[in-house]
Each structure stands twice: as C-alpha cells, then as structure tokens.
Amino acid sequence: MSESLQIVNNRSGHSTTALLLGSGELGKEVAIELMRLGVTVVACDRYDQAPAMQVAQKKAVINMRDPQSLNDLIVKVNPDFIIPEIEAISTETLLKLEKEGYNVVPSAYAANMTMNREAIRELAAEQLQLPTSPYFFASSIEEIKEQIHTVGYPCVMKPVMSSSGRGQSVLKSDQDIEKSFKAACSDGRGGIDRVIVEGFINFDREITLLTVSAVDGLHFCKPIGHHQVNGDYRESWQPEELSEEVMMEAKRLASSVVTALGGYGIFGVELFICGDKVLFSELSPRPHDTGMVTLISQDLSEFALHVRALLGLPIGEIGFIGPSASAALVFEGEGEVLRYGGLVEALNEGPHTQLRIFGKPELSGERRLGVCLCRENTVDKALECVKRMRENITFEAQSAPPPVQVEESRAEPKALDEEKEPTA
C-alpha cells in the first residue's frame, strides 16, 4: 500500500478524500494532519460547527447511528478512507460497505468490536486469553443479583456501549443495583439495556499504551499515565515509568489484541498495572483522549501517527521530546457564547506550555472544552504546571443574543458614474 499510495489534489478530478465520522477535538487534530498531507477532509457529526468542521474543506451533519443516513452519505462522498472517530456509529453499515469495497480504517471489524464492551472483552479474555478483571454481562436487575457473587463488592457497572465514563457507577451493596442499572441503561448508547459488571481492581496505576500498527510493523509510544474522575480523563502524563518486565508484558497484551483486530492505525490500549502484573482493560481503534499529551511530548503526535499509519506510510522512529503532561479543561454551564480568560497567565506558567481551545459551539451541562499542555524536566513538574495553567483559565457561558434585524433601504441607488449635485 505504501508504494502505491498517491495523493491526488486536482480540481478537475477526484481528490484523495477522507470521511471523518466524528468531528470533536480528537477528530479536529486528525483532520489537520490529513490536510497537511494533501488529503481532502469531509467532517461529519450529529451537530453543526463541530470542531473538525471548522478546519475541514467539507462537512456533513447526520445521525451516524442511522444505517440509511450513514450509507447514503458514504455512497455520496465515495471517500478513499472512512475514519471512525467515535463509538456512536452504525458499525453494521461499515461492515456491509467494507465488503462492497469501501476502505474503513483501521477496519470495520475493529470499529464494530471495540464500540461494544462485550465484544472486545470476549475477544481479549476468552479468545486471546489475556488477563482481565473478573466480570459478567447482564440485561436485567434479576440477572445482576444472580451473578453479583462472582465478582463481589465493591464492583463497577458500565453500559456495554458508552464512552467517557457515561453511565458508569460503583456498586457497594445490593441497594445500589437498581439505581445503577437504570443509570447505565439511560446513559448507554445504541438503546441496549445491557451492562458489564467488573470486580473492583486494587490497581497501582492505570495506563494507556498507544500502539501503532503500520506498514513497517508495530510501534509503541512511551506509556501514558492518567487520572480519571467518574471514568472521564482529567490529567495525563508521559512517560509513566514501568519496569522492563512490566513494559514487556504491557507490549505483549497490546500486540495480541491489536494484531487480532487488524488494520493500520493507532490503538489506545488501556491497561491496569497491579504490582508486576498487567491486566487488559479496554481499547479504542483511534487516538485516545489521554494521548493529547503527545501534542507536546513527541515529534509525531498520536494524530500524526494515526494518519501516517492509515495512509499506509511508514512510521520510522517516534521521537520523544521530554516529560510532559496535559490537563483537561472541563466546564459546566448553559449557552452558545463561550468566553475564556486568563490565557496569558496560563501560558506564562512555564517555558514550554501550549493551549488548545477546541471551539465547541455550545455548552449544555458539563463538557470538555480545551486542554492545557506543558513539557518540563520531570513529569511531576509538568503535572504541577498544567494544573496551575488550568487554575488560571476563567470561563463564562451565555445565551446568544437575538439576531439583529436589518431593514433594507428603499432608496434607489445612484449609478456609480452619476454626476454629483453641485454644492452651494
């Protein structure tokens, strides 16, 4: 594929086109990297003016979970590359179209397997025999009560289809089952009333091992440590130091599942570190939110690596620049006019700092709207820096003012060459 890849950018013909299914902050960075290599990007999402739409050449607003809408869009665009960037997609449509010759990256199989916790857990634990936390799946409160003894309390309940911690809760006793199940079914995607219940793991650390499958083999970024609140990332840092033995085991687990899924691209493999043991947790066949730290820590960010890989280009050596950290800017409010302050103060917190304001068009409730980045001499210093940066950022959400009504003038315009009236 790498030898035959040609980027065509011709107004009279069909340019090399990528259809981005999901246009949030991660998709925006992917779009930028694609455009740097001359690829035309069509950014698609469920709402208008999503971040990637603000930089892409073309856009589309559809319900990507609707099979017919998704099918019609793909057939109309006829892209060279279909890039799923979120889980909320009709993956059955992608599987069908892939069989018809459309190019889904990394693969429709990977997108379909990883959007459903049940499918990816069965692949990892039962087919590949990778170590995981104890777990079971259930579709009713009665099923949960019958099986809860297999994992014990405390335990964690998650919808089989969700992301960013939505619908996730900790169960401490039988009294928590009904409330947690209803919350999971309400916040889960796909209209499926089904959950995974996992035994609580007393892990030392939770890491993301970004694994790149490319034409020149598998590549690994340095491990990323991260801190989560209710299943959603708040800070991440790189590198998370691991012993040689643990690192080898982490690479073994990541290699096994990435190879089984197939295709070219970057995979965010989440792992639990328990002493000298490594347990598989989850996987995303796309850039990972905790990997935003690579925007400042590496010469090739996770987004650049993803694009190189999916285009069939070699990765070579991933250059690590230095210890770095990221801190998510999560704000709460209501409005369409979003104002940010304290940017100067934030960027003055260290010699190597960066900010990304994602450009999301509105806020309703709680939402991640930006990220602080810092590179320092040590990870601890980088973490302290991004937290200070975040504290400096002020935020305000307001309702958009009503549109101004402009009355059209009824006066007849004068011709440009009409002579002016003499003045007194």
Active site amino acids:
163, 165, 270, 282, 289-290, 368
Q: What is the 3-state secondary structure (H, E, C) of the chain?
A: CCCCCCCCCCCCCCCCEEEEECCCHHHHHHHHHHHHCCCEEEEEECCCCCHHHHCCCEEEECCCCCHHHHHHHHHHHCCCEEEECCCCCCHHHHHHHHHCCCCECCCHHHHHHHCCHHHHHHHHHHHCCCCECCEEEECCHHHHHHHHHHCCCCEEEEECCCCCCCCCEEECCHHHHHHHHHHHHHHCCCCCCCEEEEECCCCCEEEEEEEEEECCEEEECCCEEEEEECCEEEEEEECCCCCHHHHHHHHHHHHHHHHHHCCCEEEEEEEEEECCEEEEEEEECCCCHHHHHHHHHECCCHHHHHHHHHCCCCCCCCCECCCEEEEEEEEEEEECEEEEECHHHHHCCCCCEEEEECCCCCEEEEEEEEEEEEECCCHHHHHHHHHHHHHHCEEEEECCCCCCCCCCCCCCCCCCCCCCCCCC
In contact, 43 and 59? CB cutoff 8 Å: yes
**Residue 221: how many other CB atoms lie within 10 Å:** 25
Counting every residue, how long is the chain?
424
End-to-end CA distance of the chain: 79
> Which residue, 87, 373, 325, is CA-closest to 226?
325
